[in-house]
Amino acid sequence: MVLTPQRELIIQELRSARDHPTAEELYQRLKARLPRISLATVYRNLETMSRAGLIRKIEAAGSQRRFDGSPCPHLHMRCVSCGRVMDAPLELLEIPSGLPKEIQGHLVVGHTMEILVICTSCNKGVPPKSKAQEVKGDGLEGKQN
């Protein structure tokens, strides 16, 4: 795989991004530095590079895919209110480790997990014990950003 300027920029931008941008967000940021880059190129390269293991697609709920500059797996927290995705502290990674190798004949190859949160900025002014408790599996549909 050739390291084109576009690819270099994409990795750079993705690695240095503290958040986990969508293709579109990434595209917007890249345009500042490479105005003629196209969204299709961003998509194509995100795909290629995640296939190559250079970056990771974040496979999780939400209507827009997000990407992660770090190739090594770690847990994410998603804000159910604004859709932002953040890295979770490493200690939490070990939580679901007791999975059997096989369940009802189906070969277990892994798992996905995501912690749902209301992030600090969405949580502004909300008293510590409020509603928004019964989210979990609903209310996190398509709202990104």
Partner DNA sequence: CTCAGTGCAAACGATTTGCAGGGCC
Partner DNA sequence: GGCCCTGCAAATCGTTTGCACTGAG
For residue 3, state whether it binds a copy of itself (rule: CB under 8 A). Answer: no
What are the distances in angstroms from CA 132 to CA 82, 84, 85, 125? 13, 17, 18, 14
For residue 53, state whether it binds DNA (rule: CB under 7 A). Answer: no
For residue 23, state whether it binds DNA (rule: CB under 7 A). Answer: yes
Rounded Cα–Cα distance for residues 26 and 29 (Å): 5
Which of 16, 120, 124, 125: binder of a copy of itself (CB under 8 A)? 120
x/- track of binding to DNA for residues 57-96 (CB under 7 A): ------xxx-------------------------------
Contact 77, 90 (CB under 8 A): no
Return the closest-CA partner of residue 73 out of 111, 109, 25.
Answer: 111
End-to-end CA distance of the chain: 33
Contact 50, 67 (CB under 8 A): yes
DSSP for residue 76: E
Which of 2, 3, 32, 59: binder of a copy of itself (CB under 8 A)? 59
User: Of DNA, a copy of itself, none, which one does residue 108 interact with (CB within 5 to 8 Å by kind)?
Assistant: a copy of itself
For residue 124, state whether it binds a copy of itself (rule: CB under 8 A). Answer: no
Contact segment (CB under 8 A) with a copy of itself among 17-25, 27-35, 37-45, 104-112 equals: 104-112
34 vs 119 by CB, closer to a copy of itself = 119
Which of 1, 40, 93, 95: binder of a copy of itself (CB under 8 A)? 95
Query: Would residue 20 be called left, alpha or beta, if left means φ above 0 and alpha means ψ between -120 and 50 degrees?
Result: beta
